Amino acid sequence: MSTSHAANPDRLLPADPGTRDIARRLLTHVEDLPIISPHGHLEASMFVKDEAFSDPTSLLISPDHYLTRMLHSAGVDLADLRVGGTEGKSPREAWRVFTSNWDLYTGTATGYWVEQEFEHVFGINPDRINAENSDDIFDELSEILAKPDFRPRALAEQFNLEILATTDDPLDDLKDHKALAQDPTFSPRVLPTFRPDAYTKMYNSGWAEKTTKLIDVAGDGKAGWEGYLQAMRNRRQYFIEHGATSADHGMHDTDTTPLSHEDAQKLLDKGLAGTATLAEMRAFEANTTYRFAEMCQDDGLVMTIHPGVYRNHSASAQKKFGADIGADIPFQLEFTNGLRPLLSDFGENKDFHFVMFTIDETVYSREIAPLAGYYPAAYVGAPWWFIDEIDAMNRFRASTTGTTGFSRYSGFIDD
């Protein structure tokens, strides 16, 4: 029988006995409820293929930004963790790197999550994680992952997953979502989410080629800015037909200043020609954010924003390993002024749902909570990325609930 603290049912409850008893009673009301995940980055194809996970490293280490960035901060080469598809070390060798550095996670939310996985999913005492036990644990996990009960579909059922929203490119054909929706043997609903970032950020590699294709494929024969807007409307409708309920936007900042049709056309032309300045690129992105909110008034999609993150901060790491390897760094931003054009025009619509996420904690009580405490459309997004851990969650509640109560809150995401 495990003696790990991860097995203690009171492990995250208050120390005060009276308060802990209240927490226990509250927990009994929610701990067995199904999981509704409105935002995440799993692929629908995973459940269509339903293949066994190949090894512990490719499942638990290489794709996990939380794990790899901590190791990298201590000087571990990301290549040694097989990040970005690199294969310098074998999966077993990469696992040894992780277990040999397990002490780095002491006091972190990441360490706690790993302990919970080991204890409650795999049945392995997390106190065993160290260099000496590395190979034994790797072999045990490999045997477990080979079992039918640990394939994606079976895990989804075991975890009581009711709804999972993926994050998808506007031109995705969504064939995997359709296949799952038509499969009577799979009960969880896997819904697409419209994520247009690749077509709004002129400064990203491949933007011009992707945008040209978008207009050609979905613009109903229209050209330029009008074709761009029509293509976005059409693809949003396609997503809705395949179950989508929301659109997610990884904005650089919160600017939502709209442009005239003529000015938007000029910036689009400059972007496609490769002559737009950075300021013009940002202005184009701000205008698209406003226009997407405008589209929400017609098609009813929820609009969520995730601004204030410098994506791929390390140019050298991006060059070596590719994008989206966890080298994302927050920066300070404001919401009140940037969102005023959007909320002034659409925030009074009670049928519009606009969710504001941030990893800049300073804006919760100063800006986000007051905005959500006034505009019927505005909601406070849950703590995300670097602040989805217990201390930050408590700070979040202290800085928002007094202004917004609980009803103006989006609910948790497992980003």
**How would you write 284-319 as a 3-class SS string?**
HHHHHHHHHHHHHHHHCCEEEECCCEECCCCHHHHH
Q: What is the pLDDT of residue 415?
A: 66
CATH, residue 121: 1.10.2020.10
pLDDT per residue as tens digits for the range 171-201? 999 999 999 999 999 999 999 999 999 999 9
Let me know whether 132 and 249 are in one domain. no
Let me know whether 113 and 238 are in one domain. no
> Residue 88 falls within a domain, yes or no?
yes
What would the DSSP string read from start to end of 162-225?
EEEE--B-TT---HHHHHHHT-TT--SEEE--B--HHHH-TTSTTHHHHHHHHHHHHSTT--HH
Start-to-end CA distance of the chain, whole Å, equals 33
Residue range of the domain that includes 383: 193-404
CA distance 83 to 62: 5
Let me know whether 252 and 392 are in one domain. yes
Let me know whether 57 and 116 are in one domain. yes
Q: HSE of 340 in the Cβ direction (CA atoms, 13 Å)? A: 4
> Residue 17 falls within a domain, yes or no?
no
Sorting pLDDT into bands at 50, 70 and 90, what band is 344?
Answer: very high
Tally of CB atoms within 10 A around 305: 24
Which of 316, 211, 355 minimizes the C-alpha distance to 273? 211
Let me know whether 287 and 340 are in one domain. yes
Query: Phi, psi at residue 53, to the nearest 5°?
Result: -70, 135
Of all residues in the chain, what percent carry a pLDDT higher than 90? 87
> Residue 398 falls within a domain, yes or no?
yes
More confident residue, 413 or 230: 230
User: Among 6-15, 158-167, 189-198, 216-225, whose mean pLDDT is lowest?
Assistant: 6-15
> Residue 218 falls within a domain, yes or no?
yes
Q: What is the pLDDT of residue 414?
A: 73
pLDDT per residue as tens digits for the range 58-88? 999 999 999 999 999 999 999 999 998 888 8
pLDDT per residue as tens digits for the range 308-329? 999 888 889 888 888 888 888 9
Query: Phi, psi at residue 310, to the nearest 5°?
Result: -85, 100
> Residue 92 falls within a domain, yes or no?
yes
pLDDT per residue as tens digits for the range 374-397? 999 999 999 988 898 889 999 999
Q: What is the mean pLDDT of residues 280-290?
A: 99
* Average model confidence (pLDDT) across the chain: 95
For the entire predicted model, the pTM comes to: 0.94
Let me know whether 343 and 209 are in one domain. yes
Let me know whether 231 and 140 are in one domain. no
Check pLDDT > 50 for residue 1.
no
> Residue 208 falls within a domain, yes or no?
yes
Total tally of structural domains belonging to the chain: 2
Sorting pLDDT into bands at 50, 70 and 90, what band is 2?
Answer: low
Q: What is the mean pLDDT of residues 340-350?
A: 99
> Residue 1 falls within a domain, yes or no?
no
| Residue whose pair of structure tokens reads 């049928």 in the numeric block | 351
Let me know whether 229 and 106 are in one domain. no
Which of 310, 341, 344 minimizes the C-alpha distance to 327? 310
- Where a domain ends, among 117, 150, 183? 150
Cβ atoms 189, 163 nearer than 8 A: yes
Let me know whether 265 and 346 are in one domain. yes
Let me know whether 136 and 209 are in one domain. no
Q: What is the pLDDT of residue 7?
A: 87
Let me know whether 144 and 198 are in one domain. no
> Residue 347 falls within a domain, yes or no?
yes
